[in-house]
Every structure is written in structure tokens, then in C-alpha cells.
Structure 1
């Protein structure tokens, strides 16, 4: 008896749906791309529970009649290809004819469409089975309603994230599509909130202002490079994370490893410090790029990848030079020829304060258990000695541990350092959603924020006792850490506290006065784990006296 058999159509459809539709954002992407291919000028997306429970995409595009509407639900039925030669030069966003059948196989789907105002048609499908077909009255265009995505596929549904996380993925997807087609009006509603309101824009600069706010958009540096058959346009966005970069190829958002690697290299200084994000659009002949790589159509292959990466690198390098600011003028310090003797109230770092005879129980006594402070090595490490040898303490890691535990130990009534003037921070829409999602946790740590207009967040206060810092930069960095998943901790509160402590802690290459260093060591001694920072790095290392003598040759 044969062990190999043909799978039923229902199983085939659900397997294929898993390739095309990974999460609600995938369904939104496919439906909006269909609307753009249908020459829509206005698209409205409505969600419930981040798209897990409801997705509605409505457009004013060309629409479909009764026959086309039925055919659209058949796998590999499309109006965008007529033969194999079309695969060599694909100019539309969709072409595989898999999106609608895949969504219909994984949800309750209702679609109604009309090629002209008046008589239209409506179809209803329940997890791949057509349940209703009837005429309807509507305007020109198409409306697709998706409910209960993956409800019949519990193995897939359980891997969906929280509604807030799924919503952020949808916002990121729509942001990329909005940049690809600035001339199309795009709106996103979630529950009773309008999260994106992007009217049709005459150019990308206006669309940038709608997405990031006028102030942030004014800081963008234009990217423009034209070569024989390749054009690179877009913006370099200082102050944003390179992970927020968006890459478009012939109007299609892509996740190409080659392009991403080239952009990341150009977006980091030689020291490794990030220089910002980029929103780039590459235009090249359709026969020079293959988009038929994966069912999700997010990966591409280039006929000449070397030329593409060289163009991206050159375009970003040119933009970096254009947007570079002159180096700051350093203050001149005149060093006296003969140092003045230290005052009695401010002992030198090499001389600890005098200790009374009654307290001098040990030459290494100190107000903490780490030993006597000798000095600071390269303005980065505190050098101490005790009975066992030398101790080298990383001042940044030590302060990070102190701030982390102090933030987590805050009570709800702990004081907050109010800003004299609240600072408005313009963020990408997905980052603004992330800030709102974690607002209560931030408030519990003393970092008070509130929503402003659009995708802006207003910073009202910082945790009392936090070192002086720039609130806008601090907020952006901790949101980047959350989005990238690099913050340490098991709970959102721990991750936020770790990120906040890391970015607020004193940095390397900063001189510390003896009293500052002693106070830091005293606070470190009061922590539960003074030997490791929240990320797991060691705070201190020890050089035993015996090891020192052995290396010197005394033993």
C-alpha cells in the first residue's frame, strides 16, 4: 500500500497560509499592497486586539466585479501576470495570487467590492469554505474584513504576541508602505484611537513630517545618488536607532541581508557608535532584481549585488559628510608651572583623609568593605587596595548596579524630579506605541511620560537622584533597548530599570573626585549583588598580592 498520498485542499491551503501569513501584520501588508496595486488613493485600516481579533482594510481602488471576486479567492489567480516572461520584470507589489486565499484559509473573511459606485458583490468565507455570496450596494473600491485570525490553527495562534506587540508590527509595516507611496492617503485606527493619519503628500519630505513630526523631519539629511541604472534616494535620520531603518526597492519594503549589512556599516562610526537610521529607496530596472524569492515577497536578489551595496554605501557616506557638524572647540586649560599645595579641606586623591588613631584598626580601613581607595585608572576604573591585594572597580558597571537596584526598590510614593519645562520627544510611530505600552511601568520607576499629539511623547519627570541627563535622548535609548530585546531582566520592569540604569550611569573617561568615588563604593556595598552589573558583566576584578609578587619575580 502506498505511503505517499496527496494532501486534501484544506490542509494544503493552511500550510500555504502559514508561509504567507505569519502574524496580523502580514495580513495587513498583503491587503494594503493589493489596494496599492489597485490604484487606491485612500486606504483605511481598522484593527481590534492588534489585529488578532479584527482587521479591516478599505480602499477606493479599481474594485472587482462578481466573477473577479470569486476568482480572487482561488490560489494562484491574479491579474498581475499573464505568462512566465512576466516573472523576469515584476512591477507590482503582488503577483503570486496567494494572499487572499491564504488569509481566507486562516480566518473568517468577508470581502465586498465594486468596480463602480452602485452594485457590488460580497463573499463570506470561514477558514477556506465559502459560506455566502450575495450582491451589495457600495462605492467604488474594496473592503476586506478578517476576523479570528488563526483561530482554527491553535498551534499558530499561540505563537502570536500580545495585542500591543502585534499592533507595533502593524504600525511598522504601514510606516514602510506609507514611505513607499507618499501620494496615497493612509489611516490606521485601533479601537477608538487613530494611530496614523497620513494625508496624501506631494513628496517624501512632507510624508516624513507627518510620520516623525516637523521638528524631527527638519533634522533629516537628504540622501541622493544617481548612477547609470541605479538611483538611491531617502533620508539619514540622526538620533534614531539603525534598527529603525527602512529599505525600499522599486517601491517594495524589503528585508534584504545584503542591503541591511551595507546600511548598518555606513550607519556606525569607526568607534562603533550608531549615527542614526536611514529610510532609503532604491530604484533600478525591474529585470535587475528578483522579488520571487519567498512567498512573503520581503526578500530580493540583485543581478549585480556589488553595485547595489556600493551605491548604498556611497550614498550614506555622502549624506554623513553633508550632515556632519564641525567638531566642538575645546576649552584651553592653562597648567601652572608649580602646583599649589592642596587645601586641608580637599585632600588629594593619592592621600586619603586622615584617620583618627581610635579608628585606625587597619591601614586599609574604609567606609565600605572594598578597601582603601588609591586612585582612578584612566578615568574609568577605581583602584583600591586591601589585605589581599589590588581591586579594580569599573565605575560605569558599579553605578549601573547601584541605579538598577535603587530603581527597582522605589516605592510608589518615591519622589520624582519634575522637569521645569516638559520635553516633547518626536518618535517613529512604532516607538511611540512602545512608550505608551510601557507607560505605567515607566511611571513606577519615576520616569513620567504622557502622550502628546501624533507620535510625540511628553517627558514630565525623571526619577529623583538620577544623574543629570538629556530626557529625550534617554527615552529614545531605553525604547531602542526594549525594541531590540537587549535589555536585561525577566520582567518589563526589570528590563526598563536595567536600560535606564545603563544609560544614566556615569560613563568611562570621566574623572571622579575622591568623595564621589567613596560615595559610589559605599552605595555599591549596599546592593544585593555588588559583583555584577544588571547585564551580567563583572563590576570588579582582583589582583592578589601573591600573584603580583610572582609576576614581578619576588617569588
Structure 2
């Protein structure tokens, strides 16, 4: 009896599909890169039901010869390499020869292609079955249609995210691809709606403006020892909360390369605050023998053989370009025209930041909350706060005062309690949200609603978190395209940059949603709504916060896991004075 078996061709294709085609996004990626390799100047992508229902990619490139079409669907069949030496000198997007075979093994698949001066041909395969050929019109180019993806491998479907999440991932790739390949006109349609269009007349800068939704961008390019760099990067006026708009392309392929991303980020050192990031698109072209494209089956990463030189090359050029634009030592300027390349050091200073004018707001007050404030204001500053104990009895806590506008000092049962006011308030708000159906956060209805441009991820999390925003005093709704309308805000953010506040909340939600042990939306909103370190509190505010804290389920740890209370016994202080 043999334990080691040779897999059949259909099983081998399905295994390969699991590596090459992890998600519908990979189908779109493989087919668009094939179109680019075919010299297409126009690519159309149509997606239905997250790509699981259907993906169709049509191009006007150099079609496949009728006699070659059956071979194109076999594993390790490719026109891009002929021998082992070619593996390390690849001048195309891909060469593995697995994509079409893998995709056709797990979908209802068809490919129609025609080369100029030849007849058209079409082949259909259903989930790796027997291929069948049918006549096709002589329209130059190729159309690949993929339906019912992974219908014959239902175990893989359970690992997919929602249709909307898959569609956002596809849209993100198509946009990034269009910026790195500005010579190709691209259209994307999702569920019958035109989602994105990049026309042939748009250069890299115009496409970057459209994709990043940032206007303060500059263009640069450079060549050095066989390397060619084109990039569009933001001025220091742009300070994003995530690295999601740093786009990297190597030889026309959109890739994930932490080294190049870091080269971009470090170019902004001392120009923007730590923890904030630019928007940037980097298109790097290097000699094929200096890049290994065979390090990942899905071709999402590459290995650069001169990584250190490339890091310096990218970093140096972006930093110099920013300096040339008048941004040395962190001075923030604006471009004269965001869609033009800056060729001189001329600039104009930005208008001062404007804040929402509270004179044009109608206020909605929580009367009960206001009554409580008035009541506390007339109490003695030495009043004792009574808090419940686990035994059912009450314990007295004397609020002494505030240290460094950050720490509340209390005395309880022969111990000194030092309470971090921010994390304490965060714990109070988080549990209040979890326990209570209604929260009473004083808010202001804005006379003129604020429109904010956001990415697809931010738009999705805002829609999913509408109820949480509402409880914390915000009224936020989708306003067509990728815009949000903010109609109501908490009173305590009126004097802040409301757009930055909302974008910061959405960025934190996207980061915190990985933690499934808590309601990440309430976690972020509680943190954002809590009093901050450095906020001066009145005595009645400290007493109220201490009282609320010790009625929570866990008054000693915030929802993030940070400590709230630090204790020292009376003996500790007495020893310090030699008593």
C-alpha cells in the first residue's frame, strides 16, 4: 500500500487555485495584469456580488492566437518564459502559467480572444471539467468571464468576507493599478453601477488626485543606474491617519513592499507628526534581473535584490522633491495648482484653519445633565463620595484634587488613590454604552452640515457604526459617492477640527476592529469622547467621575487593558517623612 500519491490534474489545479486565487480580488488582479502584458490600452472590469457571482475583464490588447487558446488554460503554459534563465529576467507582470488553469478549475469560466487578422475563438470550462470551444466574433482583444467562483469548493467560501468587503478590496486594487499604469484607460463597474473611471488623458498626478482624494500633491521623477522612479506625493499639509494611501508599484505591478513604504514615511520625518502619514504613489522600474517576482504564488510581493540602494533612491528623491516645493523644516505650503507639476519654489501660504462658527448652530441640551452640574457646583469641595462595595455596604472616598491636570488624587481607607482621568472616563463611557439603551451626550445641530471625503473602508465602517455615532452625539450619514455628511456633533468638539476628529475616529475603528473580544466601535468612541490628559477638571467634575468609575464592573482597568487606579498605602508616605 502506497501512502504517497500523485495528485490528479483536477485536484492539483484546485490546490493551485487556493494559492493563486485566495479571493475574488486575486482573479481581478491576475486578469488585469494579463491584459497589461497583452499591450492593452483599455481595460474594463465588471464585478457582481463581490466577485463571487461574476468577474468579467475585457481588454483591447493583443489577443491570443486561436490555436494557442486551449494551451493557455493548461498549467505551466506561458508565452513569457522559455527556459530557466528567463525566470530571473522577467519583463512582464507574470509568468507562472497557473492563473487561468487555477481560476478555471474553481469557476464557471469562459475566455474569448481574437488577434488582429485572425479569427476569434472562445473556450468554456465549468469547474475544471472538459473544455468546449465555440465560435467567437473577430473583435480584437480578450474577454475573460468568471462566474460562481469556488462553487465547487464551498469550504473556501466560508473564509470570504462580506460581498461589500470583497468589492472594496477589488475597487482598491483597480484604483491603485490605474495610478501605477497611467497609460491604460480603466473602467470598473460593480453590481451595475459605474464605480471608477480613469480616462486615457489622465496622467499619474491626475489619477493620484482622483484616487487619494488629496489635492496637495506634487510629481517627481528620476533615473539612476538603471532605476527609473516616478512618484506623486503629498505635501506636509496632508496628514493621514493610516498608510493605506501609500501605493507601491514595481515594474507596473502593484505590490506590498514594507521597505519602500518606510522609505516614503521617513522622507517626511520632521515634516509631519509621528503617527501621521502622507498619500503617495511610487512607480519604480528596475532591471528585471534585479527583482525576483517568484516569491509569492499570488504575486503580491517581490524581492528586490538591491533593496538598500532602492530604499535610498526613493527616500532621497521624495525628500528632495518636498524640499524643492518649499517644505524644508516642516513649513507647510500649498501648491499653486494641485494638478500641475511644480517647477519652481513659488508658493502661497494656506489660509488659516477655519473652525465651525457656533453662532450658526442650534443647540440640543440634556436638561438632566445640566441640572446635575448646577447641583454639584454649590457643594463643598471637601465633600465625600460614597461608593458601593461588593459586600453591599458603602465606602467613603475623599477627592483631594488633581495633579498635572491628568491624575485625580483620592483618599480611601488609609490608601491614596491616583486615578488616570482619561482612562477612567473611557471605562465609564464604554460601560454606559454597553448597559444603557440611550445615552445623553449634549450635542449641537450644525447650521451648515459638513461634507467629508473618505475612502471606501471608512465609508463602510461609518455606515456600520451609525448607531454608535448617534449615541455619542454625532449624526453622520452617507452623502453619495464616498462622502459623509456630518449634521450634528458633540458640544465639546465645536472648537476642534471636526473633519480631523471624524477621520481620526474612523481610522481608529478600522484599526480596532481586529479585536473581536469587545465592541470596537464603542471602544473607539469612548476613548475619543473621554476627557483628555491635560484637561483641567473642577472639583464637582472629579467627584462625579470618581463616583461613576466605582459603579462600573471593572473600575481598575480600561477597555484597552490599561490600568486606571494606582494605590499607595498610608505607611508609604509616612516612611518617606521618617515617621
Same fold (TM over 0.5): yes
Contact 1:267-1:277 at 8 Å conserved across structures = no
**Does the 8 A contact of 2:233 with 2:278 survive in 1?**
no
Deviation (angstroms), 1:109: 0.8
Match of 1:30 in 2: 30
Q: In the alignment, which residue of structure 1 is the partner of 2:280?
A: 278
Q: Distance in 2 between matches of 1:484 and 1:223?
A: 31
> Is 2:522 aligned against 1:524?
no
Selected match of 1:474 from 483, 487, 501:
501
1:199-218 to 2 correspondences below 5 Å: 199-213=199-213, 216=214, 218=215
CA distance in 2 between counterparts of 1:487 and 1:521 reads 31
> 1:251 maps to what in 2?
252
Q: Does 1:400 align with 2:426?
A: yes
Pairwise CA distance, 1:25: 0.6
Distance verdict in 2 for CA 1:110–1:553, change over 3 Å: farther
Q: 1:474·1:500 contact (CA, 8 Å) conserved in 2? A: no
1:373 aligns with 2:399: yes
Deviation, structure 1 residue 541: 1.7
Greater Cα offset, 542-551 or 459-468: 459-468
* SS of residue paired to 2:208: helix
Contact map agreement 2:427 2:555 (CA 8 A) in 1: yes
CA contact (8 A) 1:73 1:100 kept: yes
User: Deviation per CA, 1:445-474, whole angstroms, max 9, x where unpaired?
Assistant: 654333345433222333577775433223
Contact 1:291 1:300 in 2 (8 A): yes
Of 526, 532, 550, the residue aligned with 1:507 is 532
Corresponding residue for 1:302? 304
Q: CA offset at residue 262 of structure 1?
A: 4.3
Change in 2 beyond 3 A, CA 1:499/1:118? farther
3-state secondary structure, aligned to 1:366: strand
User: 1:487 touches 1:496 (CA, 8 Å); kept in 2?
Assistant: no
Gaps of 5+ in 1: 330-351
- The answer to whether the 8 A contact 2:449-2:486 is kept is yes
CA distance in 1 between partners of 2:468 and 2:119 (Å):
51
**C-alpha distance in 1 between matches for 2:486 and 2:118:** 50
How many correspondences in the alignment?
A: 522
How many Å apart are 1:513 and its aligned residue? 3.7
Moved more, 113-122 or 494-503: 113-122
Residues 448, 267 of structure 1: CA spacing in aligned structure 2 closer, same or farther, 3 A cutoff?
farther
Pairing partner for 1:451 from 468, 478, 481: 478
2:337 alignment partner in structure 1: none
Alignment CA distance shift 1:503-1:370 (3 Å): farther
**Which residue in the other structure is 2:113 paired with?**
113
| Aligned match for 1:235, one of 198, 215, 233 | 233
Partner of 1:242: helix, strand, or coil? coil
Distance in 1 separating the partners of 2:73 and 2:386: 76
Going from structure 1 to structure 2, the CA distance change for 1:397 and 1:87 (only over 3 Å counts) comes to: same
Task: Tell whether the 8 Å contact from 2:180 to 2:282 is kept in structure 1 after alignment.
Answer: no
Select between 98-107 and 43-52 the one with higher mean Cα deviation: 43-52
Aligned residue in 1 for 2:571: 546
Partners of 2:59 and 2:141 within 8 A in 1: yes
Report the Cα distance in structure 2 between the residues aligned to 1:414 and 1:192, rounded to whole angstroms.
41
RMSD: 3.4
* Pairwise CA distance, 1:245: 2.2
* In 2: Cα distance, 1:144 partner to 1:444 partner: 47
* Separation (CA, whole Å) in 2 of partners of 1:224 and 1:419: 44
Give how far 1:417 is off: 3.6
Equivalent in the alignment of 2:370? none
Is the Cα–Cα contact under 8 Å of residues 476 and 488 in structure 2 kept in the other structure? yes
Change (3 A) 1:355 1:291: closer
Would the alpha carbon gap of residues 138 and 375 (structure 1) be closer, same or farther in structure 2, given more than 3 Å must change? farther
Q: Secondary structure of 1:383's match?
A: strand
C-alpha distance in 2 between matches for 1:431 and 1:47:
21
